[in-house]
Amino acid sequence: MKPLGGISAEGPRSRLLERGAAALSDEELLSLLLHLGFDGNNAPLLARNLLADFNGLIGLARAGGPVLLAHPGMGPARYARLAASMELARRQALQEMRANGDVLKSPGHTRRFLRHHLGARSREVFTCLFMDSQHRVLRCEDLFFGTLDGAAVYPREVAIRALQYGSAAVIFAHNHPSGVSEPSAADRRITERLVGALALLDIRVLDHIIVGSGQSYSFAEQGLL
């Protein structure tokens, strides 16, 4: 019986083993991830529909659990595989950043982690990387959550966390679900307030990074800190 969708799950798997995962298309990689048991023949068609319905990988990653679970053909097992793969990518990026020690010497790893951590969020999230005096990451924590338009940020809560973790420096980051990485007037104001509040505690703000769609904006690189 010919599989639905016209793509054999064995074909992509063989090419992956022979040439590596980079040789496969988004649809083929997603098909392999969603392939389950006797129902695996539906995976290519499901992969194609998911990418079309959510406008590619970024839209798929931003879709919430209830939305994905309600998608025809997904189901709990396939959703669990998809969610687990995304979380593994985020954790790998965090471990890579920590392994490279000083974040100032590896800004690329830091941005890569932040893109994994925030790029797929459907609402605005304000994250803080707490660091020691050598600028090694002590903890990454999502502190404030908002709607599609923004998140309320409270400097007092940031200061409490920084003291709790014994931080000597911090990097702030948040996402713009709209995809535009340029800072708003509110972003600039809250950054100034945070820098002022933490300066009283001798805690340095190294950067504030805004994650957009495939790009990011650094306050430090733009001379705004």
The pLDDT, as a whole number, for residue 7 is: 44
The pLDDT, as a whole number, for residue 64 is: 75
Choose the CATH number for 101-218 among 3.10.180.10, 3.40.50.300, 3.40.50.1370, 3.40.140.10. Answer: 3.40.140.10
Rounded distance, CA 49 to CA 62, Å? 16
For the chain, give every domain's residue range: 4-88, 101-218
The pLDDT, as a whole number, for residue 168 is: 96
The pLDDT, as a whole number, for residue 125 is: 92
The pLDDT, as a whole number, for residue 100 is: 67
Q: What is the mean pLDDT of each run of 10 residues along the chain (225 residues)?
A: 44 86 88 76 85 84 82 89 84 74 69 83 90 90 81 91 96 90 92 95 95 87 90
Following DSSP, what letter does each residue of 140-190 receive, concatenated?
A: EEEEEE--SS-----HHHHHHHHHHTT-SEEEEEEE-TTS--SPPHHHHHH
Residues paired with residue 150 on neighbouring β-strands, in sequence order = none
The pLDDT, as a whole number, for residue 115 is: 85
Question: How far from the centroid of its chain's Cα atoms is residue 180's Cα?
Answer: 15
The pLDDT, as a whole number, for residue 2 is: 42
The pLDDT, as a whole number, for residue 9 is: 45
The pLDDT, as a whole number, for residue 105 is: 65
Residue 120: strand, helix, or coil: coil
The pLDDT, as a whole number, for residue 108 is: 75
